[in-house]
């Protein structure tokens, strides 16, 4: 079982739709592969992208996939999603 799956958002995605699709794909792929953690990298920047990702993760259909979400200790530009 892979330990983590990483999706880097800050330099690749420009539209909200692309961001939403990338996060959803990573979560569903990680859950299917029984990955322990999905690491989402929105980058540090202004925090808008990170806040969008955190808001998205509060959706009921995505909350069913994970135990908890945290901003990586010591790295505000990384969100860790601990899958079930």
Domain residue spans in the chain? 4-83
Task: Convert the pLDDT of each residue in 32-66 to its tens digit.
Answer: 999 999 999 998 888 889 999 999 999 999 999 99
Better pLDDT: 15 or 34:
34
CATH of 4-83, one of 1.10.3470.10, 3.30.1370.110, 1.10.3720.10, 3.40.50.720: 3.30.1370.110
Q: Any residues with CB less than 8 A from the CB of 31 and at least 6 apart, and which? A: 65, 83, 84
Q: Any residues with CB less than 8 A from the CB of 38 and at least 6 apart, and which? A: 4, 5, 6, 7, 26, 27, 30, 66, 80, 81, 83
Please tell me whether residue 84 adopts helix, strand or coil conformation.
Answer: coil
């Amino acid at each position: 079982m892979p330990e983590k799956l990483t999706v880097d958002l800050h330099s690749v995605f420009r539209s909200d739709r692309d961001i939403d699709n990338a996060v959803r794909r990573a979560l569903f792929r990680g859950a299917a592969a029984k990955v322990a953690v999905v690491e989402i990298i929105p980058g540090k920047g202004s925090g808008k992208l990170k806040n969008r990702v955190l808001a998205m993760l509060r959706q009921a259909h995505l909350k069913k996939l994970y135990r908890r979400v945290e901003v990586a200790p010591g790295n505000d530009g990384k969100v860790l999603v601990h899958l079930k």
